Amino acid sequence: MKKRTRLTAFLSLLIGSLLLSATAFAAVWTSSDQWGNWSNGGYTVYNNIWGSGAGTQTIWADSYSKWGVTANHPNTGGIKSYPNSTRPINTQLSALSSLKSSFNVTVPSSGSSFVAAYDIWTGNNAHEIMLWMNKQGAVGPIAGSWDSSGNPVANFTNVSVGGHTWNVYKGSNGSNDVFSFVRTSNTSSGTVDVLAILNWCKSKGWMGSEIVNSVQFGYEITSAPNATFTTNSYSVSFS
């Protein structure tokens, strides 16, 4: 009887430890819904499976700053989703003295097509400023023209602004203007002076001193064979 009692106590302790470990690793919020979203700390985290022909995608979050997705989207071309964390700004560009963001991510090194990117919306969503920080696979920016090989033609190359060096493209998706800043080399972490980039766009006459609506950061996924994208940290500050 004593041996059985000790065994029972041991098994109870083991099961309790396993349950505690599972609880410790459980995310605060998860969703597999197409438009699943969760608000935290002044941000909203979105699953945002908006493209046609998408597969499955599950998002999890411990906070607006620490979140990720597991995506299983077919390699059929076209963007399937843009899971992201959004920070509303809703401030006139000329009234901003600072607008910066930092990020740190872990993304697939091969097998998927995606962009880890900022999406900044201004002028009541008339202008979309994309900052491509890390890209893999068959992806390319919206542009105003393409070369004979079908590659987008940059309006400006090797532009150093906002703490990074970019090739810059200007085009339209049919609904709004899109200014794409494609980093000349991939990075998985960094700080971006968003205000400097917006003022650069204004200096080119691409936009005026309009309302900066929001700053988003996430993953524009075209294809992913059960791949995991993790935001280790992310924040936006402005004044």
Q: In the chain, what are the domain boundaries?
A: 30-238
What's the number of CA atoms in the CB half-sphere (13 Å) around residue 177?
14
| The CATH homologous superfamily of the domain defined by 30-238 | Glycoside hydrolase family 11/12, catalytic domain (2.60.120.180)
| Among 217, 185, 216, 192, CA closest to 116 | 217
Q: Tokens 């900052």 appear where?
A: 131
Q: What local confidence, expressed as pLDDT, does residue 207 receive?
A: 97
The whole-angstrom separation of Cα 120 and Cα 131 is 8
**DSSP-assigned letter for residue 153:** P
pLDDT of residue 6: 56
Q: Which residue in 139, 140, 166 sits closest to 155, CA to CA?
A: 166
Whole-number Cα distances in Å, 129 to 9, 30, 92, 166, 221: 60, 28, 16, 13, 17
pLDDT at residue number 16: 46
Q: Give the global pTM.
A: 0.89
Task: List CB contacts of 137: < 8 A, sequence separation 6 or more.
Answer: 112, 113, 114, 222, 223
Largest interatomic CA distance in the chain: 85
pLDDT of 20? 38
What's the pLDDT score for residue 25?
60
Q: Identify each DSSP E strand in 47-126 by its residue range.
A: 56-61, 67-73, 84-92, 99-106, 113-122
How does pLDDT run along the chain (239 residues), one tens digit per residue?
444 455 454 444 444 444 334 434 689 999 999 999 999 999 999 999 999 999 999 999 999 999 999 999 999 989 999 999 999 999 999 999 999 999 999 999 999 999 999 999 999 999 999 999 999 999 999 999 999 999 999 999 999 999 999 999 999 999 999 999 999 999 999 999 999 999 999 999 999 999 999 999 999 999 999 999 999 999 999 99
